[in-house]
Amino acid sequence: MSSRWVEQPEHVVDAPGALPAGFRASGVACGLKASGGPDMGLIVSDAPETVSAARFTRSGVLAAPVLLCQERCRLDALRAVVANSGNANAATGRRGIDDAARMQGAAAMAVGVAPEQVAVASTGVIGVPLPPDPVTKGILAARAALATDGDEAFGEAIRTTDLFAKRVAVDVRLPSGKVRLTAQAKGAGMISPAFATMLCFVQTDAGLAPETADLLLGVCVRRSFDRISVDGQLSTNDTAILMASGAGAVQIAPESEDELRFGEALDFALRHLALEMVRDGEGSRRRGRVMVHGGDDATVVRVARAVANSPLVKAALHGGDPNWGRIAQAVGAAVPDAAPLALDVWIEDVQVCSSGAAVPYDVPALAQAVARDEVEYTIGLPGEGAEAEVFFSDLSHEYVTINADYTT
Amino acid sequence: MSSRWVEQPEHVVDAPGALPAGFRASGVACGLKASGGPDMGLIVSDAPETVSAARFTRSGVLAAPVLLCQERCRLDALRAVVANSGNANAATGRRGIDDAARMQGAAAMAVGVAPEQVAVASTGVIGVPLPPDPVTKGILAARAALATDGDEAFGEAIRTTDLFAKRVAVDVRLPSGKVRLTAQAKGAGMISPAFATMLCFVQTDAGLAPETADLLLGVCVRRSFDRISVDGQLSTNDTAILMASGAGAVQIAPESEDELRFGEALDFALRHLALEMVRDGEGSRRRGRVMVHGGDDATVVRVARAVANSPLVKAALHGGDPNWGRIAQAVGAAVPDAAPLALDVWIEDVQVCSSGAAVPYDVPALAQAVARDEVEYTIGLPGEGAEAEVFFSDLSHEYVTINADYTT
């Protein structure tokens, strides 16, 4: 583990090796990426009773595959995922929907399940029609490459500007026995704390009721991909899908100790992957965590997001600049007309602002704190009982370089 | 004029030279800036019946001078402004209020008017107490330097990261005669389209009723400083003050042709200064204007701000990258759950998206359009009757450099 902010539970142990029982996956190159790198991935569950759950971006400009999944998939009974990188199939209109439907149909035929049991996901450039030939060829090649240890290849095939692959493969010791949990994700830019620009696919051989899968995925997404910011930009394509084959020995009963323990493992996996996205934030060198406590749920979340999204706070984090005035500024912008505000601010353990006013602090201690790879900001608002955290990357020269010439 | 987006009306002519009748101003160095540059400015009207109006940031973390102005000033009858750079006197608590009050009291004594007729403004680093000695000495020196052509020196004294001074000095030909209008502003970073991080002081020798001054300033601020984005960051110190000495020959009657013409001149002056702030946006190389039309007032403003604030759109503008998918993404994020959205997008005169779908376009024409210094984005949402525009700067390497080490 690379972050002090995500602790691996004791009953969750690394399991290098194969996918959970019932699953095969693959990733191949089909020509969607100009680089010639892997760009088409396939995951399939061979268990007919596979249970699933899904979450999507709330953008008003939804990519075609997201619209297709929402309108034409049995999201509680998915058997397969087909995902491409190199093209987001977003802002592509009626043709985009048709292209996504063709991709779904081809994958369904290739793996032998009903089309409505195949989820489609895309990531890459927005506003360019998806070329059909590479997609069809890619799906055929991906079918031929399906393997029980294909999760690594699948993870490669969904990368775009990601500098490194993001995967989890663990065994989870539950009271009723051991289950395996694997997940593959992508995400580096266009990451907003209102559900990040990312794809994440999770597999387990545990048996789960559809309601349980949906509940657990919803809770864990809210604590992970919904709480990170690289650049505060909500995407058109965000998709998270959990599939439970039930092909292992353990059936997880609702409201059981098994469910609790499995939920902890899923929470760990998704938070780990979310933190990995922040670590891989385009051009990122440092990470921050902002914790806000106060009396009102909506306000603490809004303030945490405003601080995490602030380019001034991010640039200060990048430069190791202990300029906490930027934090006060971002908080103030998030709570208009609330002045005078009894605001407390700590950077790591050093309090810099008390009840809205600067306090004398240990300058060398603060300088040392902000020079670390991970910097923690704590903000106190009036009242108590509500708390929110958001993880964020810094703003660097490399972010500008990456994003000034993305399509050219 | 440097922008095609602000046209100088025919009845408004440049008037290099002195302040409007009744006003004197000055700017001196008092040691608040480490650089030793000018950092204390004073404006005074010698006309007892001077009328004024003011607008301030809505941040929940208000700087002490803003709180002081709102609570202890006769904002419709200001006679003087004292403004410093190098220290924002924000997040400074009770002591900050006392320091601002002392600054107000010293300036009132220096220029011989009541304290509640002196507005106080500060800009610079947040969270550092204002040292009292330089302030007092600076006010005395500024009083000694007061001159009828002191607007240039005053403009210098309110600069922080501004690369160039921002001033307007024009004569306005009204049906009833000629009036003079001058204004000095600062602003380069922490510029959000919900009233920018800026200071702006406007003087005229026209006679205005307090209600007229307030109405005109409110309307013109909404069309200028409330519609620009450098980095989407609302400040703690924003202040705009209009003072009308009435020392000239023209009294402007409410709802007269004089009022209309004067309003046009004020609108020109403030939009010019707002565009100058965008042009001076920290590290900025290019400017954009986003125009959004549709059926709902709140939505078009929200969408225009989201596009103008998007670091992805800004980085694409910086790189001359015709990646309009970024615009679709920013629009979608601003209108959650609105998909599918019949979105139209033009860059300059080239339509790239129609009813939510990419359309074929003239690639060389678009490449040429996005390589200009000013790039115009037009967004059509469903419905008609509502329109909003926001001006914004690009996101550059220099922005990161400037903001990664601001205090260190």
pLDDT tens column, A9-22: 999 999 987 899 99
The segment(s) of chain A belonging to CATH 3.60.70.12 are 12-279
Please tell me the least confidently modeled range out of A195-204, B191-200, B276-285, B377-386. B191-200
Please tell me the least confidently modeled range out of A109-113, B64-68, B339-343. B339-343
Check whether B41 has a pLDDT greater than 80.
yes
Please give the biggest Cα pair distance in chain B: 68
With b for 16 or more beta-carbon neighbours within 10 A and e for fewer, the B83-120 pattern comes to bbbbbbbbbbbeebbbbbbbbbebbbebbebebbbbbb
The ipTM value here is: 0.74
Report the DSSP beta bridge partners of residue B317. none
Nearest CA-CA distance, residue B180 and chain A, Å? 35
The pair phi, psi for residue B402, each rounded to 5°, is: -60, -40
The pair phi, psi for residue A93, each rounded to 5°, is: 65, -150
Say what the pTM is. 0.81
CB-based burial of residue A112 (10 Å sphere; 0-12 exposed, 13-18 middle, 19+ buried)? Answer: exposed
Both structure tokens of B309: 């604030």
Single out the catalytic residue among A197, A236, A239, A299.
A197
- Which helix (H) or strand (E) segment holds residue A104: the answer is helix A93-111
Per residue in B80-111, pLDDT (tens digit) is 999 999 998 988 889 999 999 999 999 999 99
Cβ within 8 Å, pair B235-A194? no
Check whether A377 has a pLDDT greater than 80.
yes
Nearest CA-CA distance, residue A166 and chain B, Å? 23
Distance (Å, rounded) from C-alpha B64 to C-alpha B81? 15
The separation between CA A137 and the C-alpha centre of its own chain, rounded to angstroms, equals 28
> What average pLDDT does this structure show over B336-343?
86
Distance (Å, rounded) from C-alpha B338 to C-alpha B333? 10
Per residue in B347-369, pLDDT (tens digit) is 998 999 999 888 888 888 888 88
Task: Give all strands (DSSP E) within B175-304, no chain letters.
Answer: 177-186, 199-204, 228-229, 239-244, 287-294
Check whether B221 has a pLDDT greater than 70.
yes
Cβ count near A297 (within 10 Å): 12
CA distances from A335 to A303, B50, B68 (A): 7, 34, 20
Q: Which residue has the higher pLDDT, A62 or A134?
A: A134
| B chain contacts of residue A58, beta-carbon cutoff 8 Å | 336-337
Please tell me the least confidently modeled range out of A1-5, A179-183, B373-377. A1-5
Residue of A nearest to B360 (CA): A128
Strands B374-380 and B344-347: antiparallel
> What average pLDDT does this structure show over A186-206?
69
Distance (Å, rounded) from C-alpha A306 to C-alpha B387? 27
* Closest residue to B318, CB basis, from A325, A356, A400: A400
Both structure tokens of B264: 């046009």
Check whether B400 has a pLDDT greater than 80.
no
Q: Supply the pLDDT for residue B72.
A: 95
The segment(s) of chain A belonging to CATH 3.10.20.340 are 287-404
Distance (Å, rounded) from C-alpha B396 to C-alpha B286? 10
Cβ within 8 Å, pair B319-A129? no
> What average pLDDT does this structure show over B280-288?
80
Check whether B133 has a pLDDT greater than 90.
yes
Q: pLDDT-derived band of residue B408, with 50, 70 and 90 as boundaries?
A: very low
| A chain contacts of residue B356, beta-carbon cutoff 8 Å | 61, 91, 93
B404, B163 Cβ separation under 8 angstroms: no
Per residue in B174-186, pLDDT (tens digit) is 999 999 999 998 8
Cβ count near B223 (within 10 Å): 14
Cβ within 8 Å, pair A396-B399? no
Please give the biggest Cα pair distance in chain A: 68
Distance (Å, rounded) from C-alpha B242 to C-alpha A217? 55
| B chain contacts of residue A338, beta-carbon cutoff 8 Å | 60
A66, A237 Cβ separation under 8 angstroms: yes
Distance (Å, rounded) from C-alpha A132 to C-alpha A135? 5
**B239: annotated active-site residue:** no
Cβ within 8 Å, pair B61-A125? no
Cβ within 8 Å, pair B328-A399? no
Q: pLDDT-derived band of residue A257, with 50, 70 and 90 as boundaries?
A: very high
Cβ within 8 Å, pair B325-A125? yes
Check whether A192 has a pLDDT greater than 50.
no
Check whether A298 has a pLDDT greater than 50.
yes
A8, A268 Cβ separation under 8 angstroms: yes
Dihedral sign, CA of A71, A77, A82, A87? positive
* Closest residue to A91, CB basis, from B92, B95, B353: B353
The pair phi, psi for residue B325, each rounded to 5°, is: -55, -30
Distance (Å, rounded) from C-alpha A380 to C-alpha B99? 25
Q: Supply the pLDDT for residue A193.
A: 37
Q: Supply the pLDDT for residue B343.
A: 92
Q: pLDDT-derived band of residue B232, with 50, 70 and 90 as boundaries?
A: low
| A chain contacts of residue B395, beta-carbon cutoff 8 Å | 311, 400, 403
Q: Select the residue from B400, B402, B405 to test the A interface by mutation, using most A Cβ atoms within 10 A.
A: B400
Distance (Å, rounded) from C-alpha B77 to C-alpha B48? 9
To the nearest 10°, report the CA torsion of B346, B352, B358, B364: -170
Cβ within 8 Å, pair B403-A319? yes
Check whether A233 has a pLDDT greater than 70.
no
Check whether B35 has a pLDDT greater than 50.
yes
| B chain contacts of residue A127, beta-carbon cutoff 8 Å | 324-325, 328, 352-353, 358
Q: Supply the pLDDT for residue A204.
A: 95
Please tell me the least confidently modeled range out of A6-10, A133-137, B72-76. A6-10
Q: Count of alpha carbons within 13 Å of A193, Cβ hemisphere only?
A: 23
Check whether A196 has a pLDDT greater than 50.
no
Per residue in B243-265, pLDDT (tens digit) is 999 999 999 999 999 999 999 99
CATH of range A287-404; options 3.40.50.2300, 3.30.365.10, 3.10.20.340, 2.40.50.100 = 3.10.20.340
* Closest residue to A323, CB basis, from B331, B356, B407: B407
Check whether B195 has a pLDDT greater than 70.
no
Q: Which long-range contacts (CB under 8 A, 24 or more apart) does B348-353 make?
A: B348/B375, B348/B376, B352/A127, B352/B322, B352/B324, B353/A91, B353/A127, B353/B324, B353/B328
* Closest residue to B236, CB basis, from A329, A395, A400: A329
A286, A313 Cβ separation under 8 angstroms: no
C-alpha closest to that of A61 among B310, B312, B325, B313: B325
Dihedral sign, CA of B116, B118, B121, B127? negative
Per residue in A320-371, pLDDT (tens digit) is 888 888 888 889 888 888 888 899 999 998 999 999 888 888 888 888 888 8
Nearest CA-CA distance, residue A19 and chain B, Å? 34
> What average pLDDT does this structure show over B329-346?
87
Residue of B nearest to A327 (CA): B126
Q: What share of chain A is helix, strand, coil (3-state, %, to 5)?
A: 35, 25, 40
CB-based burial of residue B133 (10 Å sphere; 0-12 exposed, 13-18 middle, 19+ buried)? Answer: exposed
Q: What angle do CA A266, A183, A126 make, to 5 degrees?
A: 115
Strands A80-85 and A118-123: parallel
* C-alpha R_g of chain A: 22
**CATH code at A12-279:** 3.60.70.12
C-alpha closest to that of A393 among A238, A267, A289: A289
Q: Count of alpha carbons within 13 Å of A104, Cβ hemisphere only?
A: 27
Distance (Å, rounded) from C-alpha A253 to C-alpha A263? 12
Cβ within 8 Å, pair A91-B343? yes
